[in-house]
Amino acid sequence: MTIPFDKVINRKGTYSTQWDFAKDRFGKSDVLPFSISDMDFQCPPEILQAIQEYAAHGIFGYTRWNHNAYKSSITYWYKSRFTADIPADWIVYSPSVIYSISKLIEILTEKHDQIILQTPGYDAFFKQLTASNREMVKNPLLYKDGSYSIDFNLLEKQLSNSKAKVLLFCNPHNPTGRVWNHNELQHIIKLCEKYQVKIISDDIHMDIVYRNRSYIPITNITSNPDNIFICTSASKTFNTPSLGGSYTFIPDKKARDQFLTIMKQRDGLSSASIFGLLSIIKGYNHSAYWVDNLVDYLYENMKLVSSFIKNQLPDITFKIPESTYLAWIDCSNLQSSDDEIQHALVNTGNVGIMSGSVYHVNKGKFLRMNVGCPRSKVIDGLERLEKSIKVVK
């Protein structure tokens, strides 16, 4: 089946964070946005049909998630896509990935304990850790020839601190797009077991992985899954974040019971969104073909970005990532500051592309450009980027 990813759909006037509230990020409402990580594509037809049928039913009462239809769709997806056998008992619904991470940190640590995370990193991690009164320890990724790797020597030193309780991991990694391989994951597990540090892994970009790379759930490798927690969602996969809901794998029964008590009894958040529930069940059971087509389309978008930058913008560099629809563009060779680059993008190019400083980039200057959109928008954005860079270089 051919999927019309080239179709341009007007998202303005839909309360879209990316389109209707661009001013919050860029100071102007009329920039062409490539910011927050949702896509400008309609979700799979199987999900749309299920939502339309349920909406026609017209009754939107409380919804349960703890049943076979929901859990079996998740176990089926992991088995068929990642050769992973996930016990259904591990699966816990959650309102969002960040909520899951927040509650797990609350369960596994005390105030002022250390949480280690790689940088650059997803900006919500930094806000969450600061708000939870935990000590954030940055483990800067090593950057060489356009690729990132883990500094295991530094990581071991940080893990050995008695205050270190959790490694907040990201696989695939946002914003760099690294997909951590078997050896890297094995090394992570070995070090964390040695120093009795738990692993919370945000795997929300797991389905957008490009050629010659494979996502491996870290639970596939460990012999002691009770020390590992995977927080993820289908929202990036099917472009359904506003439908609500995510899920978490919590192998340790004691931690799982604590999580459920906090979510249901204390926070009152255990009733699922019916549309989020349907998106998981229908998407995972029937829309794998759509995801395959999506990944192919996004890879062609990445190739377009790579070719354009190489031919039109030799002062900046870009290497196609291993995953995600987020192009991580290296502007370190430009003499201008981050602020000057952003000013040119917004006021000369009239384009909204996120500054790498938002993600606590360790060194240099970067842009994170969301290319989860029709190719015509990518081309328009690249031309605006070119116009902006010519002003600042």
Whether 393 shows a pLDDT value over 80: the answer reads no
The pTM of this model reads: 0.96
d(CA 104, CA 99): 9
Give yes or no for a cis peptide into 175 (omega within 30° of 0). yes
Instruction: Map out the domains of the chain with their CATH numbers.
Output: 17-44+289-392 (3.90.1150.10), 62-285 (3.40.640.10)
Q: Using one digit for the tens of pLDDT, what is the confidence trace for 253-308?
A: 999 999 999 999 999 998 999 999 999 999 999 999 999 999 999 999 999 999 99
With contact defined as beta carbons under 8 Å apart, do 327 and 302 qualify?
yes
What value does the mean pLDDT of the chain take?
96
Residues 186-205 have pLDDT tens digits of 999 999 999 999 999 999 99
Task: Give dist(CA 180, CA 171) in Å, integer.
Answer: 6
With a cut of 70, say whether residue 1 has pLDDT above it: no
Of all residues in the chain, what percent carry a pLDDT higher than 70? 99
Do 312 and 386 form a contact (C-beta atoms < 8 A)?
yes
147-149 and 142-144 strand pairing: antiparallel
In 203-325, the DSSP E strands lie at: 228-232, 246-249, 317-318
Span 149-163, pLDDT tens digits: 999 999 999 999 999
